[in-house]
Amino acid sequence: MEINGKSARFTRPVLIMRKLSKFGFMGIPLTSQEKTGSWYAEFEFLGKKEFAAVCQARVMSVSRLHSKLGRIPESDLEIVKKAFHELYK
């Protein structure tokens, strides 16, 4: 099941994993609802628990980006990368 966005614009926070070109990037949708299992990676962002839905990683267009919320620490990025590699090895 895909994670749907909130608000009138159906926005969803996404973690940009890698820039692919000036038109696209590899992104992982985020949710604040607690999720467990190998399909999700938990980390903290702006003082709140966030869960990266690594099972929904995909290439996205930069035109879908709305605003920048911030940057996660390298240690948390490594948690998400490890979960991604474990799921797709």
Residue 33: CB atoms within 10 A of its CB come to 9
Q: Where are the domains of the chain?
A: 14-87
Using one digit for the tens of pLDDT, what is the confidence trace for 60-89? 999 989 889 899 999 999 999 999 999 988
SS (H, E, C) 7-39: CCCCECCEEEEEECCCCEEEEEEEECCCCCCCC
Which of 37, 4, 60, 33 is CA-nearest to residue 15?
Answer: 60
pLDDT at 50: 94
* Torsion-angle region of 85 (φ positive above 0: left; ψ -120 to 50: alpha; else: beta): alpha
3-state secondary structure (DSSP) of residue 2:
coil
Prediction pTM value:
0.84
d(C-alpha 84, C-alpha 53), whole Å: 9
What does the mean pLDDT of the chain come to?
89
Query: Among 3.40.50.300, 2.30.30.110, 3.40.50.1000, 3.40.640.10, what is the CATH number of 14-87?
Result: 2.30.30.110
pLDDT of residue 24: 97
pLDDT for 88: 87
